[in-house]
Structure 1
């Protein structure tokens, strides 16, 4: 079992989000958990998602630059940048 190295606990959530990059629109995602420092995002496919992007949760008026920390087939963990 992997060690959890998060510096802030994440709260489980289920929110619609958008991964924004290149001014060409965005990729829909589901925000699975969220903390002040990062999030776990679920996507249909990792194809075309860059290492850095902006996460938008329109309902919460949340917009935050992110850097991908880890990836698997349908999920990615991101750290928020300031």
Structure 2
């Protein structure tokens, strides 16, 4: 299979939070690159199309938009 992504993704297991409208939802980042990430979450219904991803370990807050959804995972692109 040929890799077609702009930036290479790296497998990780990082605790993070999805923040939107004052609410914060816990999640786990499963892979990440300079342009996006795959995030595992238990309740996809509550995830808005656009949100801020908070990664406390790295002291990052990244604006994201959802580009795909699949069961308990979502793919996001960083804005």
TM-score class, shorter-chain normalisation, is: over 0.9
Superposed CA deviations along residues 21-46 of structure 1, whole A, max 9, x for unmatched, are 011x2110000001010000000120
- Give the one of 50, 57, 60 matched to 1:59: 57
Q: Secondary structure at the match of 1:44?
A: coil
Q: Secondary structure at the match of 1:65?
A: strand
- Aligned pairs, how many? 79
- CA spacing shift, 1:5–1:69, aligned 2, 3 Å: farther
Corresponding residue for residue 25 of structure 2: 27
Tell me the TM-score normalised to structure 1 length. 0.89
Corresponding residue for residue 38 of structure 1: 36
Q: Which has the higher strand share?
A: 2
Tell me the TM-score normalised to structure 2 length. 0.93
CA separation in 1, counterparts of 2:21 and 2:39? 19
Q: Secondary structure at the match of 1:47?
A: helix
Structure 2: 5+ residue stretches without partners: none
Please, what is the CA RMSD of the aligned residues? Answer: 1.4
Corresponding residue for residue 46 of structure 2: 48
Counterpart contact for 1:45–1:73, Cα < 8 Å: no
